[in-house]
Amino acid sequence: MKNPTVAATMNVIPLGFGYLYLKEYSRFALTFFGGVTSIFSALVIMVVLSVGMCVWDGCTETEQALIAAPVALPLMLSLFTMIDAARRSKKSRLR
């Protein structure tokens, strides 16, 4: 019997460790590679935007908000995997 809270908590970092806890290896692989890709791309995009916008000129508040926008990708992946892991854990309890 798997605890939904533990499964969701393990997916706070979008690498899919909650799916390992649930023994869903294919979902873990997809989430792990998607999480690594999204974290890496968000960091690269943020660095490119910050160097391109803020180093040579000053940054306005709007530009600073745009620099932080790529963080939304890993955050959304984390949120969706947390919800999905909790639901799958509840379903496995009913079986």
Domain tally, the chain: 1
CA dihedral for 82, 83, 89, 92, sign (positive or negative) = negative
Please report, in angstroms and rounded to a whole number, the separation of the first and last CA atoms in the chain: 10
Single pTM value for the model: 0.76
Q: Cα 52 to chain center, whole Å?
A: 25
13-58 pLDDT tens trace: 888 899 999 999 999 999 999 889 988 988 888 888 777 777 777 7
Who has greater pLDDT, 90 or 51?
90
Who has greater pLDDT, 7 or 67?
7
- Between CA 75 and CA 12 the distance in angstroms is 9
Q: Confidence class of residue 95 from pLDDT cuts 50, 70 and 90?
A: low
Domain residue limits at 37: 4-94
Contact partners, residue 45, CB within 8 Å, separation at least 6: 70
Mean pLDDT of the chain: 85
- Between CA 83 and CA 85 the distance in angstroms is 6
Per-residue model confidence (pLDDT) at position 50? 76
